[in-house]
Structure 1
């Protein structure tokens, strides 16, 4: 199940490169992602397609870099919709992004505890 949410090849490569700083990288990603979720909600509340597109783009990139392909894909969908000015499904998509982020967060934290 976790392979569906996290790319273990990407995480292994990050862990190899980051060594002792890997836990800090994970915690930074998680904290930044919390802020990105807030930005997504604010943008949709304001019906600001440009802000929503930028926030989704940023979240997509960090999710992809951290090996969270489903999360990145959902963010890409939101980014594409916002680019086209289609905000009617944004709230529902942000909810799905939030759900997926919760799964990713739990898996990453479990992985950190397993490596301690």
Structure 2
């Protein structure tokens, strides 16, 4: 699993924070639970951001607060690409740049799907390895 994580770090999908989470892994499947909670929470936040951006004149302050929360949970998870996109999205919120926010969200959707697919594959591999 470590080699796969290092590959994701070199691709810029994850950062070293994910290694810290891996160190907390035990028989209780802590890491799997953290990943599942992150994806559940993230899906809700991404949906809310999309909904807010559909308004003709979004509430950029509220949007910025939501993105700030998403950035925090992504950084805690080690989701490097998403954290970086949140930084860009927050900058666009602070500039009240709706088009910039929408462009960031297009990239964010892709980065989220990549992260989700790669982590699901990683966890499936780990589950298969521990069961054999």
> Would you call these one fold, judging by a TM-score over 0.5?
yes
The count of aligned residue pairs is: 115
1:114 aligns to what?
Answer: 125
Q: Normalised by the size of structure 1, how large is the TM-score? A: 0.90
Shift of 1:69: 1.1
Query: Where does 1:55-66 land on structure 2 (aligned, <5 Å)?
Result: 55-66=66-77
Give 1:53's match in structure 2, choosing from 50, 64, 67.
Answer: 64
1:85 aligns to 2:88 (yes or no): no
1:2 aligns to 2:8 (yes or no): yes
In structure 1, stretches of 5+ residues that fail to align are: none
Shift of 1:63: 1.0
1:12 aligns to what?
Answer: 19
Shift of 1:18: 4.3
Cα distance in 1 for partners of 2:92, 2:102 equals 12
Q: Normalised by the size of structure 2, how large is the TM-score? A: 0.80
Shift of 1:10: 2.1
CA contact (8 A) 2:17 2:75 kept: no
